Amino acid sequence: MLFARLARLAAGVAAISVVATAASAEIVTLKSYDGNIALTGDLTRFEDNTYFLRTLIGEIAVNATQVSCEGDACPEIELGSEFAIKGSETIGAGLMPALLLGFADQIEADVVQSRGATEGAMSMQMLSGAGDEVAKIELEVGGSADGIGALLANDVAIAMASRAMDDDELDNFAAAGFPDMATPQREQVLALDGLVVIASPGNPVDSLSIFEIADIFSGAITNWDEVGGPDMPIEVFAREDGSGTMGELSAQILNPNGVELAPSAKRFDSNEVLSDEVSVTRGAIGFTGLAYVRSAKPLAIRTECGLVATPSSFSIKTEEYPLARRLYLYTSGAPQPAQVARLLDYTRSEDAQQVIADAGFVDQGVDHIPVNDQGVRFAMAFTDPSPEFNFPQMRELMNELILAQRLSTTFRFLPGSSQLDNKAQGDVERIVEYLMQEDEKGAEVLLVGFTDSVGRADLNRALSFRRADQVRRAIVEAGGQALLDNVNIRVLGYGE
């Protein structure tokens, strides 16, 4: 863990001007801003924003933006304090301001808020106890595409997006000479959310299928009586083009069904305003993030297998809610003030997870529920009419899980790859922390692998076991012997 952490510390870049250089070979201590790493050694030189320390394990290079330096030999470094954040209204309207206040509290800074330089922007100045400026952050809310475009133009340090970058955007960054923007170093999953279809509270319709939602938003269905409701015209409300929320509706519902948003749809540039309008418009339907349902009525989703999925924190954490989505922060790797890295570190912390939950979004902390609470899912599985259904295998699974607690962590792989995706790589560290708790000592942990239904059942089961074992290896590598001393990990694979 030490060497992996030091490698990350040495990887970042930032804008720094050196006022004085270090004396030769004097002892200093470098401390990571999260307090987890402290490294003491002889400071031999300071070059290109990097400390070079001579230690018992050899010379180590550490990026200056990622650590504080203590000792008489530490160089005086003048760090810029101003940077900008721009993008998704879903994140920027409430969640990011709350996270910035939490970050200020962590670094013990006072906050002065004011209007930003552009319309709809806010400025947040963070001051030390002595009144010195620690950071000045410009926060501008727009659409995900706006933030990503500003990041490409080097106008901001962080882009907020309520969807992942698309292939065209990734190509634009590559063409401009930026590193791969889909790596964990550039793409961070900030929180989870669910795209929620909403109606007015008086509407008696409680659920819709994905196909019905596609037909309604495309204009093929125009009256609620076509989906089991009253004889009442449907008014479609939608977010503006360029918003991540609109992009998710297109990606998850419209595009897969080969349709486009109805031209008659009324467009909104705010989740809050859209939700409020839906709640007071009798025949309206709209969509928004989980945190912005407000007074509107959320509609459940009927899946093809007969399950009725409602948006909940647990179903979104497992990403089994059909319209679950991830919220992202992107950085380009261009030089930035040190506080950018510190802020990103804070957003991954346990304190930040509570801020995320309090703001109405879904954090990435590990939760658990009794397997028995998912009885409907198992009942639907046992009534599967397909000829491929393996009753003995399902009974074997039930016997393994009957007294278990299901954790909310679901490890996913990159499409067509054996590599864990960016969120799963972060989940490895989170699950290790969870399993290292004293309360978990002696517990048996089951890693259960599954696949899709494409291909032969026997090959799928073998693949599911290999995938689960790959996750086990990643967890053991991260947790080491201390983890194995605390819990017993067992791997199972059940195919599709």
Q: Which of 115-119, 311-315, 354-358 is the most confident on average?
A: 354-358
Mean pLDDT, range 340-354, rounded to an integer? 94
Q: Residue 262, exposed/middle/buried by CB under 10 A (0-12, 13-18, 19+)?
A: middle
Beta-sheet pairing, 284-289 with 235-239: parallel
Mean pLDDT, range 430-447, rounded to an integer? 92
Q: For residue 77, how many other CB atoms are within 10 A of its CB?
A: 17
Three-state secondary-structure class, residue 360? coil
Residue count of the chain, please give it. Answer: 496
> Is residue 191 within 8 Å of residue 361, measured between CB atoms?
yes
Q: Quote the CA–CA distance of 470 and 468 in Å, as a whole number.
A: 5
For residue 396 the two structure tokens come to 């074997």
pLDDT at 390: 66
Answer with the residue of higher pLDDT: 271 or 6. 271
pLDDT at 10: 30
Q: For residue 484, how many other CB atoms are within 10 A of its CB?
A: 12
Q: Quote the CA–CA distance of 262 and 254 in Å, as a whole number.
A: 10
Mean pLDDT score of the chain? 86
pLDDT at 50: 82
For helices 375-382 and 391-401, the axis angle rounded to 10 degrees is: 160
Summarised one tens digit per residue, pLDDT across range 80-109 is 689 999 999 999 989 999 999 999 999 889
For residue 271 the two structure tokens come to 């989740």
pLDDT at 385: 53
Three-state secondary-structure class, residue 384? coil
pLDDT at 80: 61
- Place 205 in a pLDDT band, splitting at 50, 70 and 90: very high
Is a pLDDT exceeding 70 seen at residue 4? no
pLDDT at 253: 95
> Is residue 51 within 8 Å of residue 30, measured between CB atoms?
yes
> Is residue 156 within 8 Å of residue 147, measured between CB atoms?
yes
Mean pLDDT, range 392-406, rounded to an integer? 77
Summarised one tens digit per residue, pLDDT across range 253-279 is 999 999 999 999 999 999 999 999 999
Residues 6+ apart with CB under 8 A from 18: 46, 75, 76, 77, 78
pLDDT at 7: 30
Q: For residue 244, how many other CB atoms are within 10 A of its CB?
A: 29
Cα separations (Å) of 367 from 181, 188, 409, 424? 30, 21, 8, 15
Q: For residue 3, how many other CB atoms are within 10 A of its CB?
A: 8
Of the chain, the percentage scoring pLDDT greater than 90 comes to: 60
For residue 81 the two structure tokens come to 């304090």
pLDDT at 21: 37
Q: What one-letter code names the amino acid at 398?
A: M
Q: Quote the CA–CA distance of 337 and 16 in Å, as a whole number.
A: 8
- Place 72 in a pLDDT band, splitting at 50, 70 and 90: confident
Residues 6+ apart with CB under 8 A from 396: none
The C-alpha angle with vertex 480 and arms to 479 and 481, in degrees rounded to 5, equals 125
Q: Name the percent of the chain in helix, strand, coil, to the closest 5.
A: 35, 30, 35
pLDDT at 237: 98
Minimum mean pLDDT range among 69-78, 151-160, 348-357? 69-78
Mean pLDDT, range 31-37, rounded to an integer? 67
Q: Quote the CA–CA distance of 469 and 448 in Å, as a whole number.
A: 9
Is a pLDDT exceeding 80 seen at residue 292? yes
Summarised one tens digit per residue, pLDDT across range 302-335 is 887 667 888 899 999 999 899 999 999 999 988 7
For residue 63 the two structure tokens come to 């990026």
For residue 46 the two structure tokens come to 């300071």
Q: How far is CA 339 from the centre of its chain?
A: 20
For residue 357 the two structure tokens come to 């939950």
> Is residue 161 within 8 Å of residue 330, measured between CB atoms?
yes
For residue 159 the two structure tokens come to 């882009």
Q: Quote the CA–CA distance of 361 and 356 in Å, as a whole number.
A: 6
> Is residue 2 within 8 Å of residue 57, measured between CB atoms?
no
pLDDT at 490: 93
Summarised one tens digit per residue, pLDDT across range 371-389 is 777 655 655 555 555 656 6
Q: Quote the CA–CA distance of 105 and 265 in Å, as a whole number.
A: 43
Residue 372 φ/ψ, nearest 5 degrees: -60, -25
Answer with the residue of higher pLDDT: 457 or 140. 140
Is a pLDDT exceeding 50 seen at residue 485? yes
397-405: long-range contacts, CB 8 A cutoff, minimum separation 24: 397/448, 397/492, 397/494, 400/446, 400/448, 400/492, 401/371, 401/446, 401/448, 402/371, 402/372, 403/371, 404/370, 404/371, 404/446, 405/368, 405/369, 405/370, 405/371
- Cα pseudo-dihedral 104, 105, 111, 117, rounded to 10: 30
Mean pLDDT, range 122-141, rounded to an integer? 90
Mean pLDDT, range 348-368, rounded to an integer? 95
For helices 95-106 and 350-358, the axis angle rounded to 10 degrees is: 150
Q: Quote the CA–CA distance of 216 and 210 in Å, as a whole number.
A: 10
Q: Quote the CA–CA distance of 379 and 66 in Å, as a whole number.
A: 51
Q: Quote the CA–CA distance of 141 and 244 in Å, as a whole number.
A: 12
Three-state secondary-structure class, residue 58? strand
pLDDT at 2: 24
